Amino acid sequence: MEPIEIKKDIFWVGVVEFDHRDFHGYSRCPDGTTCNAYLIRDDKNVLVDTVSPGNAGPLLCRLAKTMPPEKVDYIVCNHMELDHQGVLEEIVERIKPEKIFVSQMGLKSMAGYYAGKNWPVQAVKSGDVLELGKKRIIFQETRMLHWPDSMVSYIPEEKLLISNDIFGQNIASSQRYVDTFADEAEFVHRVKEYYYNIVLPYSPIVLQALPIVESLDIDMIAPDHGLIHRGRPAVKFIIDLYRKMAEQKPQKQALIFYDTMWHSTERMAYAICNGLEESDVPCRIMSVKANHHSAIMTQLADCGAVIAGSPTHNNGIMPLVAAMICYMSGLKPLNRVGAAFGSCGWSGESPRFLQNKLAEMKMDLPADPLKCMWAPDKEVYKKCNELGKKVAETLKRKCDNR
């Protein structure tokens, strides 16, 4: 892959990882990902971010096609997570930069990952300006979006924001720009997937950061993952989508996730779905065995209600449901309607257990947890249908009042 000049004398020099699937050890990127890095050529040459471990070679090759790597003067590390700085040691040894810039909090991560290196690291803070010659970089810290050290780099002369993880997506493609990527639905899905698995807990901070981004004169946002947002309509589109995801206003769709032993809990899930559909609320059922927890989380982006189901197992819930509820809880979704259900042979703790977990996430819980002994009969199916209808009516009221 060739370096791409995205603005005058600013080049994409990242790597596309078509076959990467395990994103950060906890989320899936089903169709690969991209780790973007950018080279700014000026009187002072700057490499903004590096790439993931094992990819120093492709990065250096791309760099070398634009200029001799040793002519790079500065490295900017917008964020120290290793998908961006995993090859820093090899890159620093090769180019021997005059300075490496990190945020104030980045000093800690740098010291943690690269202790004892004695590199020329310098901390910058919001508003600090790095003069390059014809261009400048203005730094803006974005603490907890999504690490304490995160910051973004604004190049006002080119109306360009290099945004690190923010506004990124796990897309592997030969295309570099959103406007040349053929599948808009896929693009939006991958934005939601990234947001709901990485950024969601920090939504209140996103809502504070977006006006700062909007106050800048920008016609391009270049994230460190996936496609570049080129042109003012694309910039507005991604900012609006981020605002929508961060606000988490209720949406008239429900998600049921469940596990099952002998299909009783599964049958309950489908009966609850019927109740929702009869009340005009579309529903998506996702088995935790058939779907990775990050795919279920992505689906939540479009759902205002979450209904969790598990058989009772060892006086608790099934292990994959436990993993799912733990994962979801950590991502702190807001403003949802919830409900819980499950089958059992004897003790039957699972529906109450799940309901308590949903309550901890401050969900509206319009119905008592629904328990079924052994296998659902006509009466249980009727209760499942009623549960679906109760959730649907509560969600519709919430949507009307939003």
243 CB burial (10 A radius; 0-12, 13-18, 19+): middle
DSSP letters for 20-89 = --EETTTEE-TT-EEE--EEE-SSS-EEE----TT-HHHHHHHHHTTS-GGG--EEE-S--SHHHHTTHH
Strand order in 305-309's β-sheet?
283-287, 254-258, 305-309, 337-344, 370-373
* Residue number, 42 or 165, with CB nearest to ligand FEO: 165
Binds ligand FEO by CB under 6 A, chosen from 42, 141, 158, 224: 224
For the bound state, the minimum distance from the C-beta of residue 92 to ligand FEO, rounded and expressed in Å, comes to: 19
83 catalytic per annotation: yes
**Which runs of consecutive H residues, i.e. helices, occur in 161-256?**
184-194, 203-215, 232-247
Task: Provide the minimum distance between the beta carbon of 147 and ligand FEO in the complex, in angstroms, as a whole number.
Answer: 6
**Rg (Cα) of the chain, in Å, rounded?**
24
If binding is defined by CB under 6 A, does position 165 make contact with ligand FEO? yes
Catalytic annotation present for 292: no
- Candidate list 17, 49, 81, 364; residue touching ligand FEO; CB under 6 A: 81
By CB under 6 A, which span of 77-85, 134-142, 278-286, 291-299 interacts with ligand FEO?
A: 77-85
Choosing from 20, 38, 74, 146, which is the catalytic residue?
Answer: 146
CA 90 to chain centroid, in Å, comes to 28
Least distance (Å) between residue 295 CB and ligand FEO = 19
Q: Does 259 bind ligand FEO (CB under 6 A)?
A: no
Residue range at the interface with ligand FEO (CB under 6 A); choices 53-61, 80-88, 229-237, 264-272? 80-88
- Kindly state the smallest distance separating residue 398's Cβ from ligand FEO, in Å: 32
Q: Is 146 a catalytic residue?
A: yes
User: Whose structure tokens read 């740098």?
Assistant: 110
Q: Residues in contact with ligand FEO, total (CB under 6 A)?
A: 9
**Residue 327 amino acid letter:** Y
Tokens of 29: 């990127």
- Binding residue for ligand FEO (CB under 6 A) from 42, 49, 83, 158? 83
Indicate the Cα dihedral angle 232, 234, 238, 244, nearest 10°: 90
- In angstroms, the Cα distances linking 170 to 31, 36, 167, 185, 189 are 8, 11, 11, 14, 10
- Indicate if 229 belongs to the active site: no
Is 225 considered catalytic here?
yes
Asked whether position 79 contacts ligand FEO by CB under 6 A, the answer is yes
Q: Which residues bind ligand FEO (CB under 6 A)?
A: 79, 81, 83-84, 146-147, 165, 224-225
Q: Which residues are catalytic?
A: 24, 79, 81, 83, 146, 165, 194, 225
